[in-house]
Amino acid sequence: MSSRADKVTPNGRPPNRRDFLGAAAAAVAATRLPAFGSDATDIARELGRHPGSAAEIAADESFWAEVARAFTVDRTLVNLNNGGVSPSPSFVQDAMKRHLDYSNEAPTYTMWKILEPQREGVRKRMAREWGVDAEEIAFTRNASEGLQTVQFGYDLNPGDEVLTTTQDYGRMLTTFRQRERREGIVMNQIKVPVPAEDPAEVVRRFEEGITPRTRLILMCHMINLTGQILPVRDIVRMARRHDIPVIVDGAHAMAHFPFKLPDLECDNYATSLHKWLFAPHGTGLLYVRKDEIPNIWPLMAAPDSRNSDIRKYEEIGTHPAANYLAIGEALTFHQGIGAERKAERLIYLRDYWANRLLENDRVSLNTSQKPGFACGIGNVHVDGLDTAALSNWLWNEHRIINVPIGHGECTGLRISPSVYTTLEELDRFSEAMEWAMEHGLPEA
């Protein structure tokens, strides 16, 4: 197959001499950047000194080459499923290993007495970064655990209804279906447009789905199938008029694009930290507004004395300290890159491959490219190619990791590059897709 890397720029126009000289200058600059160690603080300091606006830095390959140096990823393959779980930078891994080694010296002392109290410092830093009180932040193992805590935590009676969408995460739908079977509640689902570029219409559909029996609403901040960003604050305000709490699934949103939790005005919010924050695998966060904590039962039993304590949601028995302490290194790295710069880069990478593929009339996106409605995740559909077969072929023939989405409302490949992804890797993906569109997929 022929390369098209020299035929189009990310904005869809043919390259010119300025593009060529800019790329050459970036390559030279990459060899002149000062070396720094593997410590998160050192890297954050050096990245923070890099001049330029977020939009300018999004296209600065020398900057992102330095960011990529923090990772130990396998470059024999192309990982375009960072939305599932992301690799952690080497210094995050090292911190976790260091804490784990220390824990094993005498766990009842080193882990429980020394390391466990240090979790409070991480709690305060995470709360400060996202603009809330430290007494509103609990650490979990993932977004699903945090969401199930809240989904099971509200008292519901037989016949009570919960409202969500047909595009919400499967595990969360399964959670409410279990309550249907066990307790006789009813789960109702609405459809949202694909893509959804009119916030008022999304709010209207949610409000239209409310009945006199509706007691809870579950919604995504960013839908995992397409990367669609939904208007959380507007839906929360609408639901509050009906006296209905809203459970917010933020699995793909936190550290993906900039926002503060108070801006959403939500009662609770659950996310995974091993996605876009690059924290250790098996770390998540649950935010519950302070005055709402007494109203939500913990997933595992906690004593009465913790009824109003956010830590009741961390009552899971013996657990490692190392994973949660290493979140601090991941947060420092995130701050060094800068939330705005990270988001702009992820959008730049999405548009780099998407604009190229959209030159073919058979290609469509189930993801908006308008500002504010999506970020780094893109869902691409190709007419005439079976999505599952295309996904398997990309892996088997090209070692490109991707996610086939078989949902009837948004069938396509979910593509989620990350800050360590190179343009050459996206060219490999694009070339493979173009070859498949031209020649078809080999028969199994």
The pLDDT of residue 63 is 94
Q: By the 8 A CB rule, do 86 and 420 touch?
A: no
The pLDDT of residue 415 is 98
What CATH homologous superfamily does 17-69+341-439 map to? Aspartate Aminotransferase, domain 1 (3.90.1150.10)
Sequence letter at residue 82: N
Sheet of 137-140, strands arranged across = 137-140, 284-288, 268-272, 246-249, 214-220, 161-165, 186-190
Q: To the nearest whole number, what is the mean pLDDT of the chain?
A: 92
pLDDT in tens, 305-320: 999 999 999 999 999 9
Sequence letter at residue 414: R
pLDDT in tens, 276-333: 999 999 999 999 999 999 999 999 999 999 999 999 999 999 999 999 999 999 999 9
Burial class (CB in 10 A: 0-12, 13-18, 19+), 187: middle
The pLDDT of residue 81 is 98
For residues 202 and 12, give the distance between their C-alpha atoms in angstroms, rounded to a whole number.
31
Residue 376 neighbours by CB distance under 10 Å: 28
For residues 99 and 327, give the distance between their C-alpha atoms in angstroms, rounded to a whole number.
12
For residues 64 and 49, give the distance between their C-alpha atoms in angstroms, rounded to a whole number.
14
Each domain of the chain, given as residue ranges in start order, spans 17-69+341-439, 93-331
Provide the 3-class DSSP secondary structure of residue 364.
strand
The pLDDT of residue 49 is 81
In CATH, 93-331 is 3.90.850.10: no
Cα atoms in the 13 Å half-sphere on the side-chain side of 320: 20
Compute CA distances 184 → 175, 181, 220, 244, 296, whole Å: 13, 6, 24, 19, 19
Between the CA atoms of 185, 151, 145 and 300, what dihedral angle is there, to the nearest 10 degrees? Answer: -90
Instruction: Please tell me the pTM assigned to this model.
Output: 0.89
For residues 376 and 374, give the distance between their C-alpha atoms in angstroms, rounded to a whole number.
7
Q: What is the pLDDT along the chain (444 residues), one digit of tens a residue?
A: 333 333 444 344 444 433 433 443 333 333 333 333 457 777 777 787 888 999 999 999 999 999 999 999 999 999 999 999 999 999 999 999 999 999 999 999 999 999 999 999 999 999 999 999 999 999 999 999 999 999 999 999 999 999 999 999 999 999 999 999 999 999 999 999 999 999 999 999 999 999 999 999 999 999 999 999 999 999 999 999 999 999 999 999 999 999 999 999 999 999 999 999 999 999 999 999 999 999 999 999 999 999 999 999 999 999 999 999 999 999 999 999 999 999 999 999 999 999 999 999 999 999 999 999 999 999 999 999 999 999 999 999 999 999 999 999 999 999 999 999 999 999 999 999 999 999 999 986
For residues 19 and 25, give the distance between their C-alpha atoms in angstroms, rounded to a whole number.
10
Burial 165-179 (b: 16+ CB within 10 A, else e): bebbbeebbebbeeb
Run of H or E residues at 140: strand 137-140
- Do the domains 17-69+341-439 and 93-331 sit in the same CATH topology, yes or no? no
For residues 10 and 58, give the distance between their C-alpha atoms in angstroms, rounded to a whole number.
11
Question: Is the alpha carbon torsion for 114, 117, 119, 124 positive or negative?
Answer: negative
Strand 246-249 with 214-220, pairing: parallel
At 165, list the tokens.
């969408």
The pLDDT of residue 444 is 65
